Amino acid sequence: MTGITVTLSDPTAPEARALIAALDHYLGLLYQAEENHLLDPERLTAPDVRFLLARIDGRPVGCGALRIDSSGYAEIKRMYVDPIHRGRGIAGSIMATLEDLAQAEGIKLLKLETGDRQREAVGLYRQLGFTPCGAFGDYRCGGEASIFMEKHL
């Protein structure tokens, strides 16, 4: 799609914070607080995280992050596209850029945790080649709402 750009960005910038706050609000409507596994904007500035903003004609419309785990995989975090811009290929563009970043860093496995009430997200991840996997990292047990997926690069 014309006009979409996806770039590394500062997650503490006001435009990024606004998207992260919108995502937090959305997830808060779907899940109990203990079912959400969120990284705040300050944590997203850590050396092991790559944060992306997607823009259409310069306007921020989506975000996503890659957290590189010391055991050798990378986790997809903070995927969000503003609802009025969904269905335009933005999430796919973010995911493609995250995969490129992971591969550039020698990462061969992506993992993610999402929720069972986010059917569109689960469908997107399946379409992009993610398959179910067990809980990983600090999740131990993500709760009944959690869905864990992975993709070998």
Residue 87 lies in a domain: yes
Q: What pLDDT is recorded for position 67?
A: 97
Residue 123 lies in a domain: no
Cβ count near 142 (within 10 Å): 17
Average pLDDT score over residue span 18-44: 89
In this predicted structure, the answer to whether residue 21 has a pLDDT above a threshold of 50 is yes
Residue 33 lies in a domain: yes
Residue 104 lies in a domain: yes
In this predicted structure, the answer to whether residue 1 has a pLDDT above a threshold of 50 is no
Residue 147 lies in a domain: no
| Percentage of the residues of the chain whose pLDDT score is greater than 90 | 84
Residue 19 lies in a domain: yes
Residue 90 lies in a domain: yes
Q: The domain spanning residue 101 has which CATH number? A: 3.40.630.30
Which carries the bigger pLDDT value, residue 98 or residue 33?
98
N residues, the chain: 153
Q: What pLDDT is recorded for position 34?
A: 75
Q: What pLDDT is recorded for position 139?
A: 84
Average pLDDT score over residue span 129-143: 85
Joined tokens for residue 116: 């069972």
- For residues 111 and 73, is the Cβ–Cβ distance under 8 A? yes
Query: Which pLDDT tens digit goes with each residue over 57-105?
Result: 999 999 999 999 999 999 999 999 999 999 999 999 999 999 999 999 9
Residue 127 lies in a domain: no
Joined tokens for residue 77: 């975090």
Name the pTM for this structure: 0.93
Residue 2 — very low, low, confident or very high, per pLDDT cuts 50/70/90? Answer: low
Domain that holds residue 26: 4-112
Number of domains in the chain: 1
Query: In sequence order, what E strands does the chain have?
Result: 4-8, 49-56, 59-68, 74-81, 109-115, 131-132, 146-152
Q: What pLDDT is recorded for position 33?
A: 74
Instruction: State the chain's mean pLDDT as an integer.
Output: 93
